[in-house]
Structure 1
Amino acid sequence: MAHGGLQALGLALAGAGWLALLAATALPQWEVSTFAGDNIITALVTMKGLWMSCVSTSTGQLQCKSYESVLALPAHLQATRALLVVSGVLGPLALGAAVAGMKCTRCGGDDPRKKSSVAAGGGALFILSGLLALVACSWYGHRIITSFYDATECPSTSSEQNLGFEFGSALFLGWAGSALALLGGSLLASSCCSRGGGGAAKRGYPRAKTPPQGPPQLPRP
């Protein structure tokens, strides 16, 4: 029972991490501008994502524009896109393998060792997906830090310009999704090594041989 519960917990965490990565990939709040002007009424907040950039005003209006040319994008943005797309594609494959290899499902055969290997394979795919997303988010975050310090060292002369960009909510969501995918995938992968209860036969020990019983002996007179 503990073996199946560990698989269910790993699947829930990894699935939640994959969904969080999908949401982070689609959201435009990867980096948010910091305002340095004095006029708060006409302040503009610029948000940049992987697929579009948005501008929000203090009145609540939001305007977004998709990136037109892929070749004109920076190298770190193209690499982040590619890594997160591959990470998102690995999610359904890992989810299918994990569900097929779980102890509480009937698909994938009845051999417990084979099902555990399939579940561990799904966990390995989740781990790979989380690692790709973690590399992408960390690379993007390092780029934001470098650009921010470059902007603060050479600030603009105009008071209505933004100093730089800081971490957005989508970037934190991507880090959280990567951590959940890694944790859930590790729990699923560990199911290949864990052994459930149920007697000596399930633990791999030989069964005790019972001596053959002959015909019942009649009592002597």
Structure 2
Amino acid sequence: MGGGAREVAGYLAALAGWVAGLAAAVLPQWRQSSYAGDAIITAVGLHEGLWMSCAAQSTGQVQCRLHDSLLSLEGLPMSAALQVTAFGFALLSTLFLLLATCTDCWMVNADDSLEVSHKCRGLWRECVTNMQDGVRTCDQYDSILADHPVKIVVTRTLMITADLLAGLALATLVLGLDCITFLKEDPCVKLKMCYGAGVILCAGSILGLIGSVWYAVDVYVERAMLVSHNIFLGVHYDFGWSCWLGMAGSMGCFVASVLLTCCLYACTAPSSHCQLQRHPQPQGQTATRTATSKMYAMDSRV
């Protein structure tokens, strides 16, 4: 089979897959059941899909009803689904931030033409890996309190603070999930805990993103200055995967914060927004206060 025939076959296969996926998403036959009743005349076939539910009678009549809202399907409330999704984003993003802070590949050599060694520079040490035998040697920085470049100090501070905030938000979010029995009798407090976790995640994401972008911009400026002055030091550094992990973790925390604040507020019923309500007083106390007020009114007339 020639190259043109393979391209046509691949195109047809992709087209068939796209049509099949589109049909599966649109058609309501995702779950079906039937009800016969006392007679075959009253038989009804029930079909439920992603967007509508249909009932097909034995007479051939088909009636379909769209779901009331895309955000309130039966089986799982949208608020619980948002909480679980935000928890997944927060957990994965927190792991990314921790890995970015602990690993040592924020800058890598990009222009080593000999490819004899692979150099990585991080927040805590610098490592060199021999490409021939795979031996890795790391040089620890002198001390945390020693004089370091500004980008090292600022990135360390911002990333550690972002890690602490993300961990605190993750713990708060775990206690605020609807599937956790903690404070099950007080859903208002659990909802506020989810909102608070979203705000903390937003703060952590901003700090983590500032730290990662600060380091990346400093690397770019350093590289641009060397190129503009025609200075060749043997090794030019580029962004490492630890820097990308920090950016990805920060963006993931921001997405989780949006889900826990804006989206969760929009998908929660207005009656459960924990508005301040006056608790009804017992009838006896109300009657006593009414009688007392009448007595004061009579005394004032006298």
Bin for the TM-score computed over the shorter chain = 0.7 to 0.9
Amino acid at match of 2:157: A
Give the TM-score of the pair, scaled to structure 1: 0.81
Amino acid at match of 2:120: M
Distance 1:166 1:117, change over 3 A: same
* In 1: Cα distance, 2:263 partner to 2:187 partner: 11
Amino acid at match of 1:25: T
Corresponding residue of 1:15: 91
State the shift of 1:106 in Å: 1.6
Contact 1:47–1:53 (Cα < 8 Å) also in 2: yes
* In 1: Cα distance, 2:232 partner to 2:194 partner: 58
Match of 2:220 among 145, 157, 162: 145
Q: Over residues 125-152 of structure 1, what are the superposed CA-to-partner deviations in whole Å (9 max), with x where a residue is unaligned?
A: 1111111100000000000100011111
Are positions 1:65 and 2:176 aligned together? no
Runs of 4+, deviation exceeding 3 Å:
155-158, 194-197, 200-204
Corresponding residue of 1:110: 185
Corresponding residue of 1:3: 79
* In 2: Cα distance, 1:46 partner to 1:92 partner: 31
Is the partner of 2:148 in helix, strand or coil?
coil
* In 2: Cα distance, 1:108 partner to 1:27 partner: 38
Distance 1:167 1:96, change over 3 A: same
Distance 1:56 1:194, change over 3 A: same
Alignment of 1:60-209 (within 5 A): 60-70=134-144, 71-156=146-231, 161-162=234-235, 164-190=236-262, 193-196=265-268
Amino acid at match of 2:245: L
Are positions 1:55 and 2:128 aligned together? yes
Corresponding residue of 1:44: 117
Contact 1:34–1:45 (Cα < 8 Å) also in 2: no
State the shift of 1:121 in Å: 0.3
State the shift of 1:202 in Å: 5.3
Contact 1:88–1:129 (Cα < 8 Å) also in 2: yes
Distance 1:202 1:18, change over 3 A: closer
State the shift of 1:184 in Å: 0.9
Q: Structure 1: any 5+ residue segments left out of the alignment?
A: 205-221
Give the TM-score of the pair, scaled to structure 2: 0.60
Q: Report the structure number with the largest CA radius of gyration.
A: 2
Q: Over residues 93-128 of structure 1, what are the superposed CA-to-partner deviations in whole Å (9 max), with x where a residue is unaligned?
A: 111211111222121352222211111101111111
Q: Over residues 139-177 of structure 1, what are the superposed CA-to-partner deviations in whole Å (9 max), with x where a residue is unaligned?
A: 00000100011111234467xx12x21011111111111
Amino acid at match of 1:32: V
Aligned residues between the structures:
196
Q: Structure 2: any 5+ residue segments left out of the alignment?
A: 1-76, 275-302
Distance 1:151 1:44, change over 3 A: farther
Is the partner of 1:152 in helix, strand or coil?
helix
* In 1: Cα distance, 2:85 partner to 2:244 partner: 23
Corresponding residue of 2:106: 30
1 or 2 for the larger relative contact order (CA 8 Å, sep ≥6)?
1
